[in-house]
Chains A and B, each alone.
Chain A
Amino acid sequence: MLTKRIVPCLDIKNGRTVKGVNFVDLRDAGDPVVLAKQYAELGADELVFLDIAATLENRKTMHDMVLKVAEQVNIPFTVGGGISSVDDVDDLLQCGADKVSINSSAVKRPELINELSEKFGSQCVVVAIDAKQIDDEWFVHLAGGTIPTDIKLFDWAKEVEERGAGEILFTSMNHDGTKAGFANVALAKLSDLVNIPIIASGGAGTIKHFVDTFKEGKVDAALAASVFHFGEIPIQELKKELKQQNIEVRL
């Protein structure tokens, strides 16, 4: 059976991991390649690298990092941040990235999704959506959730699927950083609405939150950062518990 995926996310700035990573027994926790290898060993199913300070100047640094990760890591990985053209994606895939994640650039120019899926295939196009629930409605936000739009989450999700996205990475701004659990009601609605995989992001704090998002949120994968980086939730332990709860995982 197809298993549910556990996806650690690494924030990258100038080729180094940021947001504090506190792994024991690691000589250089700031080196994304070292961390990525460690996560692959520990049983992560995929990795996401997010270039949080993507600028033209540091593009080369990011390419070098992607190349090194591809050289040394034997599980799939996605690269996001600052991607706005077919050429950007071509470069990253040439460096060995398996998928790319686009966000604001897709909202600004939705045709980009069509162009990417036609040229490279849907399988490598992840559309990341940051949204915030205001009263009863979810609105898409840009630039890391800082800029509101009047685009409704579910309309946008349907549109990105129709345009050829292979996967949706949904981050709830209401839940991100709270460690109080994922946005399971919205996630379940998304999962029913579209026929492509959904990755849940934002809110992971405990193992139970992962159980809940797979069961109630009906998601295909769950992404988290700090709970993994600080060893609060060891991946093997998490996966064993998921298995106990009859959620299929790769052990």
Chain B
Amino acid sequence: MDLKIVNYGAGNIKSIQFAFHRLGYDAVLSDNPDEIFKADKVIFPGVGEASSAMKMLKESGLDTLIPKLKQPVLGICLGMQLMCNHTEEGDTKGLGIFNVDVKRFSNAVKVPQMGWNTINNLKSYLFKDIREEEYMYLVHSYYAENCDEAIATSNYELEYASALENNNFFGVQFHPEKSSKVGAQLLQNFLDL
């Protein structure tokens, strides 16, 4: 399988590569639009700050490529947030793949949310063989609002979308690559799409 990780300089992607490697797949980094376009599956990672990540994405021209992809695409953490309409972080316009806005948790709770939280209201093949109330590892200060495209929700201060789906596009707020066996199952499901 031709599995590509979009490489635009946003954060540490080693863990994602290793997670796929544990499943027996090679996930190759690429910033080449042709290569990414032709891949069977695409991972869109992201760690760090939204406006600078979006800037790097634009500099490499990948901001126009990603919304045009037809194969299954999985955005992880900040990757997912950048696929939304807009994020409050750095007042950043997103790729508009998911029709939802990204907001900051209030200071009524500790920010960032850091640790293992349950995922609920699962409704996608992505969660095949994953039970309701399973735990995933999350680290984030911003969240996508609950919406029609939510395929999982979690609770922290409020109920928010911890995973999104629109056609061939998937996004997860949590880090499947760091979420033990359950996370590995989700990555396998993505590969099986």
Contacts and interface: CB of A to CB of B under 8 A. Distances in A.
A195 B114 contact: no
B128 to A, nearest CB: 19
Contacts of A75: 137, 178-180
Contacts of B21: 71
Given A2-B117, A74-B183, A121-B49, A196 B110 contact: yes
B14 interface: yes
Given A166-B112, A197-B114, A74 B181 contact: yes
B117 A74 contact: no
A71 B18 CA distance: 5
Most chain A CB neighbours (cut-off 10 Å) among B115, B118, B138, B181 = B115
Contact of B48 (A95, A121, A196): A121
Contacts of B117: 1-3
Contact-residue size bin, chain B (C-beta under 8 Å from the other chain) = 35 or more
A5 interface: yes
Interface in A157-196: 166-167, 195-196
A45 B110 contact: no
A70 B14 contact: yes
Contacts, number: 92
Interface string B96-111: 0000000000010011
A167 B114 contact: yes
Contact-residue size bin, chain A (C-beta under 8 Å from the other chain) = 20 to 34
A110 interface: no
Nearest to A3: B116
Interface string A1-28: 1111100000000000000000000000
A26 B6 CA distance: 39
Contacts of B172: none
Interface of B: 11-12, 14-15, 18-19, 21-22, 47-49, 107, 110-118, 135, 137-141, 155-156, 175, 177-181, 183-184
Given A2-B113, A196-B110, 10 more contacts: A70-B18, A74-B178, A76-B139, A97-B12, A121-B11, A123-B112, A123-B140, A197-B115, A220-B115, A221-B115
